[in-house]
């Protein structure tokens, strides 16, 4: 481990960015009163193939918009959500840029950013830490969007089996497995001890400014140690009793898996097993189960009325499941403390466009705006990461920037 004292100084000297003291969500006055003691929750849902713009965006702005085919299933919740036009994550590359939906930064372009390409959900999960058994749960259909990333730039793969997720949430592990996990956590603690010792040795070779950076690093090490300690404590705590029958391993259609994942996310949030959850519907989502053609093929519609009509069915199916999920959260009386981000890092799959991304948010106890039309001119467009920075502030973090953000989402920025 002595070699670790020779670690490159650049590892400890990442820039921290400029803190922006702008208020969050100025454009959304508090709507429904919420209990300050109730924890905030965040859900992010991403679709790899986008949403056909003509099916997604209403023609008129404001609260009196006429819902499109994609938004019609959400009509009962229209007062509790905001649809955005002309938000961009600033990336190009078609399918490759979809991975930036929750980050606004491609993995291969992340080296110059202080937090690399950390995704919105993982930034929120870091804030939650070990307050819940799982800082986040990440779910998705096989062939996901590569939507979730740690601050180290590591992809967080989704759990693609509902039965596996059910067991993780609600089935207590045998004593032997818990002991093996305790041993693994102990080993990780010893690695952190070595990192801390080597960093202390490096400290003697640094100037004042660099020592400040190192102090920040050591603080993060101590935070990881605290989480490990809490993880040990969670090993001995019984998991909550589910209100549904056990989900078993069996062959299912993807349309059934989507509903199951939403059910399990709702239960995970309701039992406070986690406060951050994601769902990815990717290239592996089979639309043949809806008696339609290949989803990827339909997304390359070339303005064919038949293919666009089939896309209406697929996209309405996805928003119907979202609508049912919102109803579940309302019934559990946690919707006003839960903010949902729904959309895609791609707009029109036929042209592989990553401009004017389909995005909506729901819940959070906000006074929602209906259809909020942001500036369409490229040089005036609001970065999607500005919205995400405000989401993180709503969640309770004090971060000054996120991804490519230029500030928070305010009336001045949306004209």
* Strand duo 41-47 + 276-281: pairing: parallel
* Tens-digit pLDDT profile for residues 284-293: 788 888 888 8
Q: How far apart are CA 343 and CA 366, in angstroms?
A: 19
Q: Tokens 């969050």 map to which residue?
A: 24
What's the half-sphere exposure (Cβ side, CA atoms, 13 Å) at 163?
Answer: 6
Domain 17-172+252-414: what homologous superfamily?
A: Alkaline Phosphatase, subunit A (3.40.720.10)
* Strand duo 276-281 + 370-373: pairing: unpaired
- Give rounded-to-5 percent helix, strand, coil for the chain: 45, 10, 45
What pLDDT was estimated at residue 70? 97
Q: How far apart are CA 250 and CA 25, in angstroms?
A: 44
Of 5-9, 182-186, 262-266, the poorest mean pLDDT is in 5-9
What pLDDT was estimated at residue 328? 97
For 403, left (φ over 0), alpha (ψ -120 to 50), or beta?
left
pTM score above 0.75: yes
Residues 6+ apart with CB under 8 A from 32: 336, 365
pLDDT above 50 for 14: no
- The domain limits of the chain are 17-172+252-414
Q: How far apart are CA 344 and CA 262, in angstroms?
A: 18
Contact at 8 Å (CB) between 89 and 354?
yes
Structure confidence at residue 31 as a pLDDT band (50, 70, 90):
very low
Structure confidence at residue 391 as a pLDDT band (50, 70, 90):
very high
When pLDDT is averaged across residues 342-371 and rounded to a whole number, the result is: 92
What pLDDT was estimated at residue 331? 97
- Per DSSP, the three-state class of 231 is helix
Strand order in the sheet with 338-343: 137-140, 276-281, 41-47, 338-343, 359-363, 81-85, 370-373
What pLDDT was estimated at residue 151? 87
pLDDT above 50 for 27: no
Q: How far apart are CA 124 and CA 207, in angstroms?
A: 33
When pLDDT is averaged across residues 97-123 and rounded to a whole number, the result is: 92
Number of neighbouring beta carbons within 10 Å of residue 15: 9
What pLDDT was estimated at residue 224? 58
pLDDT above 90 for 362: yes
pLDDT above 50 for 325: yes
Structure confidence at residue 394 as a pLDDT band (50, 70, 90):
very high
When pLDDT is averaged across residues 385-393 and rounded to a whole number, the result is: 95
């Amino acid at each position: 481990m002595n070699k670790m004292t020779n670690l490159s100084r650049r590892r400890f000297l990442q820039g921290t960015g400029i803190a922006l003291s702008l208020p969050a969500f100025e454009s959304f006055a508090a709507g429904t009163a919420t209990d300050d003691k109730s924890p905030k929750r965040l859900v992010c849902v991403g679709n790899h193939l986008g949403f056909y713009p003509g099916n997604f965006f209403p023609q008129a702005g404001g609260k009196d918009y006429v819902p499109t085919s994609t938004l019609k299933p959400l009509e009962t919740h229209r007062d509790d959500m905001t649809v955005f036009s002309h938000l961009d994550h600033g990336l190009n590359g078609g399918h490759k840029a979809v991975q930036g939906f929750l980050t606004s930064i491609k993995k291969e372009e992340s080296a110059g950013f202080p937090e690399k390409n950390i995704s919105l959900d993982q930034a929120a999960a870091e804030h939650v830490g070990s307050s819940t058994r799982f800082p986040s749960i990440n779910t998705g259909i096989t062939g996901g969007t590569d939507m979730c990333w740690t601050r180290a730039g590591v992809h967080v793969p989704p759990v693609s089996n509902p039965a596996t997720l059910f067991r993780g949430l609600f089935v207590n592990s045998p004593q032997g497995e818990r002991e093996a996990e305790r041993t693994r956590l102990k080993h990780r603690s010893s690695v952190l001890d070595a990192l801390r010792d080597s960093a202390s040795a490096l400290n003697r070779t640094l100037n004042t400014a660099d020592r400040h950076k190192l102090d920040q690093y050591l603080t993060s090490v101590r935070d990881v140690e605290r989480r490990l300690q809490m993880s040990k404590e969670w090993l001995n705590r019984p998991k909550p009793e589910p209100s549904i029958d056990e989900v078993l391993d069996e062959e299912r259609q993807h349309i059934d898996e989507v509903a199951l994942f939403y059910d399990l996310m709702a239960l995970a949030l309701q039992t406070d097993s986690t406060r951050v959850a994601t769902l990815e519907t990717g290239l592996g989502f089979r639309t043949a189960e809806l008696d339609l053609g290949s989803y990827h093929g339909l997304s390359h519609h070339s303005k064919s009325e038949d293919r666009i009509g089939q896309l209406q069915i697929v996209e309405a199916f996805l928003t119907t499941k979202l609508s049912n999920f919102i109803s579940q959260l309302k019934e559990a009386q946690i919707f006003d403390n839960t903010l949902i981000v729904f959309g895609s890092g791609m707009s029109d799959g036929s042209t592989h466009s990553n401009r004017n991304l389909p995005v909506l948010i729901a819940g959070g106890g906000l006074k929602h705006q209906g259809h909020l039309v942001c500036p369409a001119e490229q040089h005036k467009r609001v970065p999607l990461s500005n919205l995400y920075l405000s989401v993180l502030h709503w969640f309770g973090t004090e971060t000054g920037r996120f991804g490519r953000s230029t500030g928070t989402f305010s009336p001045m920025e949306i004209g």
